[in-house]
Amino acid sequence: MKTGVITLTMAFALALAFLLVAGFPPSSEAGACPDADSDTICDPDDNCLNKVNTSQTDSNTDGYGNVCDPDSTNDLSVTAADLGRLKQTFGLSLGAPLYNPDHDHNGDNSVSAADLGVLKQFFGLAPGPSGKSCAGSIPCP
Ligand SMILES: [Ca+2]
Ligand SMILES: [Ca+2]
Ligand SMILES: [Ca+2]
Ligand SMILES: [Ca+2]
C-alpha cells in the first residue's frame, strides 16, 4: 500500500518534470504575449504594432515594417519628400530597373494607388509605431 503511494507520487513527479522540460504550457503560444494587432507577432518583436503584418517585411531594415513605413527618407517624418520618392517609382513592379520595394507598403510587389494611400494616411506623421527597441536605426535587426 505504502509502496503504491510512493510509486504514484514518483510517477506524478516524473510527469510534471517531463511537462516542465517539454515546456508545457508553451510560453510562445499565441496569446501568451502582448499582441496589440493580433497578427501573431508579439509587441516587442512587431515592427508595426498597429498593423497586421505577419510577414514583417522591412525592406529598408530600419525597424519599421513596410506597411507602416512610408518614410523613405528616414527622417522619421512622412513629408512631401517621401511623396516625391514614391512618385518616382509609381506604377513600377518587381523586376523593373527603378523598382524600389521601400514604396511597396501592401506587399504586392508593385507601387500603386494602394501604396500611395498608405503614405496619405501617414502624411505629416511619424512611421510606425514599431515595437522594436532599435526602430529608427539602420540596420535594426
Ligand atoms: Ca502584433
Ligand atoms: Ca504588426
Ligand atoms: Ca522600414
Ligand atoms: Ca504595393
Q: How confident is the model at residue 97 (pLDDT cuts 50, 70, 90)?
A: very high
pLDDT attached to residue 11: 73
Q: What are the pLDDT digits (tens) for 47-82?
A: 999 999 999 999 999 999 999 999 999 999 999 999
Is this model's pTM higher than 0.85 or not? no
Tell me which residue of 87, 65, 85, 79 sits closest to 122, measured CA to CA: 79
Ligand at shortest distance from the CA of 101: 4
User: What's the gap in Å between 51 CA and the centre of ligand 2?
Assistant: 4
Ligand at shortest distance from the CA of 42: 1
Residues 16 and 38 in one domain: no
Q: What is the DSSP string of 117-132?
A: HHHHHHTTS-S-----
Residues 69 and 25 in one domain: no
Task: State how far the Cα of 136 lies from the Cα of 115, in Å rounded to an integer.
Answer: 21
Query: How much is the average pLDDT of 13-29?
Result: 58
Give the domain extent around 5.
1-32
User: What's the gap in Å between 128 CA and the centre of ligand 1?
Assistant: 12
Question: What cell does 30 get?
Answer: 499565441
Ligand at shortest distance from the CA of 68: 3
Residues 3 and 71 in one domain: no
Residues 47 and 10 in one domain: no
Task: State how far the Cα of 128 lies from the Cα of 106, in Å rounded to an integer.
Answer: 14
User: What's the gap in Å between 43 CA and the centre of ligand 1?
Assistant: 5
Question: What cell does 131 get?
Answer: 515595437
The count of structural domains within the chain is: 2
pLDDT attached to residue 83: 98
